[in-house]
Amino acid sequence: MLHIPCPHCGLRNETEFHYGAEAGVAYPDPNALTDIEWAKFLHIRANPKGWLAERWVHFAGCGRWFNLWRNTITHEIGPAYLPFTQQPKAPDNIGKEDSKA
Amino acid sequence: MSEISFSFDDKIFKGIQGEPMAAALLRNGMLSITNSTYHNRPRGIVGLGVEEPNAIVQLVSGTKESMLPATMIEVTSGLEARSLTGVGALPEHPDEARYDKTNCYVDTLVIGAGVAGIRAAENELRTGREVLLIDDQSEPGGHLRHLGLELTASMQNVLEQKNLTYMRRCTAVGLYDQNYVIAIERRSEHLGNAAPANRARIRVWHIRADRVVLAPGAFQRPLIFANNDRPGIMLSHAAATYVALHGVKIFKRAVVVTVDNQGYRDALRLHRYGVQVQAIYDARPGAKGSSVDAARAAGIPIRFHATVIDTSSNAEGACTNVTLQDLDTKEIFQTDADLLAVSGGWTPIVDLATHIGIKPTWSEKHAAFLVNQNTEKLRTVGMLAGDFGGDDDPTIFFGPELDSEQARHAYIDLQRDTTLHDLRRAVGAGLSSIEHIKRYTTIGTAHDQGKTSGMLTIGALCQLHGGANGGLSPADVGTLSFRPPYVPVPFAALAGRERGLLTDPIRITSLHQWHVEAGAVFEDVGQWKRPWYFPKPGERIHEAVRRECRAAREGVAVMDASTLGKIDIQGPDAGIFLDRIYTNMFSTLPEGQCRYGLMCKADGIVFDDGVTTRLGKNHFLMTTTTGGAARVLSWLEEWLQTEWPDLKVYCTSVTEHISTIALVGPKSRQLLSELVTDIDLSKEAFPFMHTRMSNIDGIPVRIARISFSGELAFEINVAWGHARYIWERLWTLGRPYDLTAYGTETMHVLRAEKGYIIVGQDTDGTQTPYDLNMSWIVSKKKEFIGKRSFQLPYLKSPGRLQLVGLLPLNRDEAIPEGAYITVVDAGPDKHGKTPHTGFITGSYFSAILDREFALALVADGPSRMGEVVAIPIGKKVVRATICDSVFIDKENIRRDN
Ligand SMILES: [Zn+2]
């Protein structure tokens, strides 16, 4: 059960949130893309081992979308930030396991 | 200490209130408790706590818990229990006990109230932190208690600090990310009949701690030797504790077999309490330490480099003789013993640490897997961290070499009756990973989850691969990873109060009570209770539905449509927003008009549909499918918040604010005109897809000409609380019209006759609007979500499943929904399979057509009109003709009338 810092409500249990995949993928101009590029936008997202900026929505709380750094190996939670704001740096490899992996 | 009586297998025993049932049974001479599951061999008590593999019992009194270790049951007056072979029998009646759950936030959670846990709690308190200390025993102290020692004054002082909460009988069963711990507190059973009636039997604690300190202690290990499962063969620490602490006097002559100094300490305790310890056999070549010296001084013979290899028994199966072996000379010798106390080293309880993915590390010095964590958030102390105390110097030894005959009776997992022979067979079959071997042999998969057998398996594997002679070390094999829960948890505890009506919220409309009184049969649509049909006395479903359908098509009928999702959308950019969301245009919709809209996801697949009404310049009311309301609102919010923050639009769920009554049928206008007198309901003044504000007896209503049946129809929208009044008025006025109430089944038939889709029923998550014959709703003029995808080749390619109608050749033959459609007489392909070409999404009897009909998704369906397809149903084949999905009133004359 992740403990997720909603930027509006503070630390809450994971069950109050829904996941929204990789953050920072801007919606492109659909007509400027080839079929392949458009299909990649639709279906391909980064899935790195380690820190990933993700989108989450606090659906059972304030209902707001936000972004969050999360380590996909250690499940450590990094800083949360609002959409359209400066993305904070990826946390250092606090995850001891991760740095070796 | 009060003496009480309890029963076990229908015999009455005396015990001391609160002592472990295992202790009371042993003191009463119950060496053999049950027979083993697969080999039917007599078995007795082995351990002290949750690690007990043999003495699993089921409770007959109170809550009839089906499998509990006798070591963990505190006896009370009148307690009744039964022995158990294999799995427990579930009680016949529901568990009436009360269970509850609670949340808790704390600075530091210490798990385990042994010496190490109490010391750790003291350190935490010193830094000003609030501490929760939990322990699965009835009293604090861990091993101290087993030794019959009191807590020191300073430890007692720690427990009395106001910043510390100590919870006894509370077992941490799972450790999860970010220090989330679930613990199970047993609150009432130990009180027996004195338990207050309102007290929960078990409370589930959901604990979030800033820091977790793991002080779980360790289990003592058995050894692997032939016939190591007989009653009278016990872990030495358990045997000594039952004798010294619980007054068990049934053992006269003991043999102690050990690999560490713990065996000496236990031998001394047995000796002091009157058991004749014939000798200590130590697998090590020699040993030092105060306990060794004390044993020697007490006159207990010690033989080094020797261990047990086999045992024999009396007629009851209990241990009577021990066969030993000199590990140097391989000389075999025998001695008699009614107690064989085994000390095979300690296995620290790594379970909780492995729950969050920590890999324990092997320590040669401790002959054990340890977890050493010392971060801000998680710390390990005591035996888990390698603090074994005392003067221990264990050797890595899991048992002597055994021949294949001996291996057949050398048990590794007592509960699963898995032997060394089974393990050898698994390795012989080519398995090497411990996780594979676990699944092949079932070791560690019983009630005790391998608490004593896991480490033995690892040790035996190492010995199979050459042991200390350059073969595998336990470090190479690695430890099993454990999953929560650490001990079995009753489902009733996890359910808590959320049982019966409280399992899931039930949503009802403001007309629900009327439907109940009218005898409606209900169906669940998500959490909603919706009338399915309204049978008259003696009517069966198809009779009721035909009557309801006929009323809607020929007279007038009424339905409660209040469960439709409703989203109020306001703001100066609402029109632009809806243009982007829907495939068709909404910004040009005049005020007071309604429009059907279809929305797709970015991949071009139809997501939801519904009618949206423009109530004002900057004000729309969107309706969604009943089941789709929440996900559509989330979808709208996601786009507004994450892509279009510049749009000034606000979305609010108003599903439960507005009741919707659908008045349907050729006579609906006439009936409504008796109720609504302030607006002109005529075809010319109030056309299809228009809405008008009105009032009924002073109650504001909004009437809309919307039809989900293809008939002339009016929707009456009214504040939730006024719906019953309006409905009753309609009902009274409708009597001369034979006004008929209908439910969801009739709604489905009516909409299917007209070819109106239900997203999720007539779609399978692969349909674009084009696949649903809805190219007319796709705007060419504007951008909207999903538009780009319609150009993708795979959404245009042949073979796509598309919506069509089907008419069975035999008009009375019903086709089951979900049935696969095949090409007539295609026969099996080269793989022996009959290729399918689609499936049935909805199948009904039409009263107005007087025949069966269906909607279906068929590959390239619209280009196959008139083709006869075959639908195999069991042994028979139904044939049907592909046709248009609109079965009645293609010209919309009825609807627009
Ligand atoms: Zn929030």
Distance A20 CA to ligand 1 centre (A): 15
Predicted confidence at residue B763, as pLDDT, reads 96
Residue A96 has pLDDT above 50, yes or no: no
Rounded to an integer, what distance in angstroms lies between the CA atom of residue B301 and that of residue B615? 98
Q: Which domains does chain A possess?
A: 3-100 (3.30.2270.10)
- Which of A1, A6, A54, A82 has the most B C-beta neighbours within 10 Å, making it the best mutation to test the interface with B? A1
Asked if A62 is an interface residue toward chain B (Cβ–Cβ < 8 A), one would say no
Of residues B179, B643, B791, nearest to A35 (C-beta) = B791
Do the beta carbons of residue B838 and residue B859 sit within 8 Å?
yes
Residue B470 has pLDDT above 90, yes or no: no
Residue B229 has pLDDT above 50, yes or no: yes
Rounded to an integer, what distance in angstroms lies between the CA atom of residue B629 and that of residue B631? 6
Rounded to an integer, what distance in angstroms lies between the CA atom of residue B742 and that of residue B515? 10
Task: Write out pLDDT tens, residues B40-77.
Answer: 999 999 999 999 999 999 999 988 888 999 999 999 99
CATH number attached to the domain at B516-562+658-742 = 3.30.1360.120
- For B323, phi then psi, to 5°, come to -100, 125
Count interface pairs A-B at CB distance under 8 A: 54
What CATH architecture does domain B797-883 belong to? Beta Barrel (2.40)
Banded pLDDT at A93 (limits 50, 70, 90): low
Identity of the residue numbered B448: D
Span of B395-404, B431-440, B610-619 with lowest mean pLDDT: B431-440
Q: Which residues of B617-631 are buried (b: 16+ CB within 10 A; e: fewer)?
A: ebebbbbbbbbbbee
| Strands across the sheet containing A65-71 | A18-22, A51-57, A65-71, A77-81
Give me the helices (H) in B742-800, please. 744-753
Cα angle for residues B496, B501, B502 (degrees, 5° grid) = 40
Tokens of B474: 């336990």
Residue B100 has pLDDT above 70, yes or no: yes
Identity of the residue numbered B841: T
Our CA-based measurement puts residue B31 at a distance from the nearest CA of chain A, in whole angstroms, of: 44
What CATH architecture does domain B220-347+392-477 belong to? 3-Layer(bba) Sandwich (3.50)
Predicted confidence at residue B263, as pLDDT, reads 96
Distance B178 CA to ligand 1 centre (A): 18
Better pLDDT: B582 or B393: B582
Please give the mean pLDDT across all residues of chain B. Answer: 95
Of residues B638, B791, B793, nearest to A57 (C-beta) = B638
Complex ipTM, two decimals?
0.93
Residue A100 has pLDDT above 50, yes or no: no
Distance B638 CA to ligand 1 centre (A): 14
Banded pLDDT at A95 (limits 50, 70, 90): very low
Output DSSP code: residue B141: B
Residue B467 has pLDDT above 80, yes or no: no
Q: Chain A residues with CB inside 8 Å of B789's CB?
A: 38, 42
In this complex, do B638 and A83 lie within 8 Å of one another by their Cβ atoms?
no
Predicted confidence at residue B88, as pLDDT, reads 79
| Matching fold, domains B97-218+348-390+489-498 and B220-347+392-477 | yes
Our CA-based measurement puts residue A29 at a distance from the nearest CA of chain B, in whole angstroms, of: 10
CA B358, B50, B123, B167 torsion-angle sign: positive
Asked if A39 is an interface residue toward chain B (Cβ–Cβ < 8 A), one would say yes
Banded pLDDT at B826 (limits 50, 70, 90): low
pLDDT exceeding 70 applies to what percent of chain B? 99
Banded pLDDT at B90 (limits 50, 70, 90): confident
Of residues B178, B787, B788, nearest to A2 (C-beta) = B178
Q: SS3 for B173-240, per residue?
A: EEEEHHHEEEEEEECCHHHHHHCCCCCCCEEEEEEEEEEEEECCCEEECCCCCCCCCCCCEEEHHHHH
Q: Which residues surround ligand 1, an ion (CB under 5 A)?
A: A 6, 8-9, 58, 61-62
Residue B720 has pLDDT above 50, yes or no: yes
What CATH architecture does domain B3-83 belong to? Roll (3.10)
Query: Where exactly are the structural domains of chain B?
Result: 3-83, 97-218+348-390+489-498, 220-347+392-477, 516-562+658-742, 565-653, 797-883
Residue B628 has pLDDT above 50, yes or no: yes
Q: Which residues of A16-53 are buried (b: 16+ CB within 10 A; e: fewer)?
A: bbeebeebeeeeeebeeeeeeebbebbeeeeeeebbbb
Residues ≥6 apart with Cβ < 8 Å to B103: B205, B206, B207, B208
Class of the CATH domain delimited by B97-218+348-390+489-498: alpha beta
What are residue B870's DSSP bridge partners?
A: B822, B879
Class of the CATH domain delimited by B565-653: alpha beta
Predicted confidence at residue B356, as pLDDT, reads 93
Asked if A75 is an interface residue toward chain B (Cβ–Cβ < 8 A), one would say yes
Predicted confidence at residue B410, as pLDDT, reads 98
Task: Write out pLDDT tens, residues B475-523.
Answer: 888 887 899 999 999 999 999 999 999 999 999 999 999 999 999 999 9
Residue B361 has pLDDT above 90, yes or no: yes
Distance B496 CA to ligand 1 centre (A): 27
Predicted confidence at residue B875, as pLDDT, reads 86
Rounded to an integer, what distance in angstroms lies between the CA atom of residue B704 and that of residue A34? 44
Identity of the residue numbered B338: D
Predicted confidence at residue B479, as pLDDT, reads 80
Asked if A12 is an interface residue toward chain B (Cβ–Cβ < 8 A), one would say no
Rounded to an integer, what distance in angstroms lies between the CA atom of residue B795 and that of residue B598? 17
Residues of B with CB under 8 A from a CB of A: 176-180, 208, 356-357, 602-603, 634, 637-638, 641-643, 645, 783, 787-789, 791-793
Predicted confidence at residue B20, as pLDDT, reads 97
| CA distances to B32, B258, B351, B872 from B315, in Å | 12, 27, 39, 64
Residue A97 has pLDDT above 70, yes or no: no
Q: Is B761 exposed, middle or buried (0-12, 13-18, 19+ CB in 10 A)?
A: middle
Residue A99 has pLDDT above 60, yes or no: no
Banded pLDDT at B464 (limits 50, 70, 90): confident
Rounded to an integer, what distance in angstroms lies between the CA atom of residue B350 and that of residue B482? 8
Distance A15 CA to ligand 1 centre (A): 12
In this complex, do A18 and B793 lie within 8 Å of one another by their Cβ atoms?
no
Residue B588 has pLDDT above 80, yes or no: yes
Around Cβ B128, how many Cβ atoms within 10 Å?
8
In this complex, do A84 and B645 lie within 8 Å of one another by their Cβ atoms?
yes
CA B474, B476, B477, B483 torsion-angle sign: positive
Banded pLDDT at B587 (limits 50, 70, 90): very high
Residue B296 has pLDDT above 60, yes or no: yes
Task: Write out pLDDT tens, residues B830-874.
Answer: 887 778 899 999 999 999 999 999 999 999 999 999 999 999 998
Unique residue bearing structure tokens 């007692």: B156
Q: Which residues of B264-275 are buried (b: 16+ CB within 10 A; e: fewer)?
A: bbbbbbbbebeb
Average pLDDT over residues B624-653: 95
Unique residue bearing structure tokens 């709380």: A61
What are residue B411's DSSP bridge partners?
A: B419
